[in-house]
Amino acid sequence: MKERRYDLYRDVKCRMCLEENEDDDHIIYCQQLRDKWLVVINNTREIKLIVKSEKAILTITTLLLEIFVNEFYRIIWQSCCNLVTEWERTKEIKKQDLRKKIPAHQHITYKQTPTKPIEGDTYDLKGRKILKHSEQ
């Protein structure tokens, strides 16, 4: 949010936890979203019980990805968007403000979070372990 419209949001903290600045990775690590992430993961894991045939693995994997994306959108993304919309209302940020082009000097580009391997695991620079698919 801040990276997209610095001219409107300036020093905005995550609307879910109100503690850390929102960035590309924060939606994954936000403690207020931890339970919601577990719901998304559990909802997708239930489908794995259906898989009995190796031949069906591609179809099931595609289905799992689709379910995961839908669950992420429904459980996490929409709740974040609703909080941001409510916050924008309190700050009197209107839709036409959001549609205006950002001046070039205020544009902040996205950056990839650097990681470092430690004893076979991957950590971000804040020391948070990045889980592999099999560890989730």
Task: Give the whole-angstrom CA distance, residue 37 versus residue 33.
Answer: 6
Q: What is the pLDDT of residue 75?
A: 92
Task: Give the whole-angstrom CA distance, residue 2 versus residue 67.
Answer: 29
Strand partners, 119: none
Question: ∠ at Cα 106 (102, 110), nearest 5°?
Answer: 90
Start-to-end CA span in the chain (Å): 27
**How, if at all, do strands 121-124 and 129-130 pair?**
antiparallel
> For the CA atoms of 133, 63, 40, 48, what is the dihedral angle to 10 degrees?
-70
The residue-averaged pLDDT of 1-19 equals: 70
8 A C-beta contact, residue 47 and residue 63: yes
Residue 1 pLDDT > 80: no
> For the CA atoms of 26, 32, 34, 38, what is the dihedral angle to 10 degrees?
-120
pLDDT one-digit tens code per residue, 50-86: 666 656 766 777 888 898 899 999 999 999 999 989 9
pLDDT one-digit tens code per residue, 83-129: 989 988 998 988 888 888 777 766 666 566 677 778 878 887 778 88
pLDDT one-digit tens code per residue, 18-53: 888 777 788 888 889 888 888 888 876 766 666 666
